[in-house]
């Protein structure tokens, strides 16, 4: 038996050198191709990350700008509303400082009614509508029935007999329903 550790060393031949060189060249070419593909993928990844970060920053700026513009528009609208009410506020101040000893009660009542009309006119200019449905058909979307009274005629069934408190609609949105008494036909 022969010991495998005592074998004579192999002598390299010219064919072995060519095969080895060809294998090295193929390995280097494959490595270069993989490295180029890897570098290309890393470059594309970097570009996509940059695009993402820019888009994210742009969205954040848009969100902040939109919030700021919304707040500015809200403040401008409130300012316009308040400006419309300032004259009525001045009129109320004059009524509040009237000397009751020298002014008739009816004059004060008339003055307050005029101020009320002025306030409602100003608010109507901003989109407020008063819901005062006396004699109208009861509408549960706009009216709140507090009680019912008997109707004298069948045609008066489900009609509003009395309004305890008017309601308000602002640009189609119900702020407060009118609180009403509804007629009901007993038959």
Question: pLDDT digits over 94-134, tens only?
Answer: 888 888 888 888 988 898 999 999 999 999 999 999 999 99
**Range picked from 80-89, 153-162, 171-180 for highest mean pLDDT:** 171-180
The per-residue pLDDT for 100 is 82
**Range picked from 6-15, 30-39, 135-144 for highest mean pLDDT:** 135-144
Percent of the chain with pLDDT over 70: 83
Assess whether pLDDT exceeds 70 at residue 34. Answer: yes
How would residue 71 be classed by pLDDT, with cut points 50, 70 and 90? Answer: very high
Domains in the chain and their CATH numbers?
16-126 (no CATH), 128-187 (2.30.22.10)
Find all residues with CB under 8 Å of 81, minimum gap 6, and list them: 123, 126
Mean pLDDT of 43-56: 94
* 138 secondary structure, DSSP code: P
Assess whether pLDDT exceeds 90 at residue 19. Answer: no
Between CA 182 and CA 134 the distance in angstroms is: 10
Q: What is the DSSP string of 60-77?
A: HHHHHHHHHHHHHHHHHH
Do 107 and 114 touch, CB atoms closer than 8 A? Answer: no
The per-residue pLDDT for 142 is 95
């Amino acid at each position: 038996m022969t010991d495998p550790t005592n074998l004579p060393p192999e002598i390299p031949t010219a064919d072995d050198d060519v095969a080895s060189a060809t294998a090295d060249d193929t390995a280097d070419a494959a490595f270069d191709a993989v490295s180029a593909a890897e570098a290309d993928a890393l470059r594309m990844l970097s570009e996509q990350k940059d695009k993402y970060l820019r888009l994210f920053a742009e969205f954040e700026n848009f969100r902040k700008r939109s919030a700021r513009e919304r707040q500015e528009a809200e403040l401008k609208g409130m300012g316009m509303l308040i400006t419309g009410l300032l004259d009525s506020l001045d009129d109320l101040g004059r009524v509040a400082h009237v000397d009751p000893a020298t002014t008739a009660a009816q004059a004060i009542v008339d003055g307050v009614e005029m101020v009320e009309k002025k306030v409602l006119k100003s608010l109507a200019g901003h989109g407020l509508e008063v819901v005062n449905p006396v004699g109208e058909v009861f509408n549960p979307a706009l009216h709140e029935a507090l009680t019912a009274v008997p109707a004298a005629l069948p045609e008066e069934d489900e009609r509003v007999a009395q309004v305890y408190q008017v309601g308000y609609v602002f640009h189609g949105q119900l702020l407060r329903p009118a609180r009403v008494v509804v007629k009901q036909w007993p038959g």
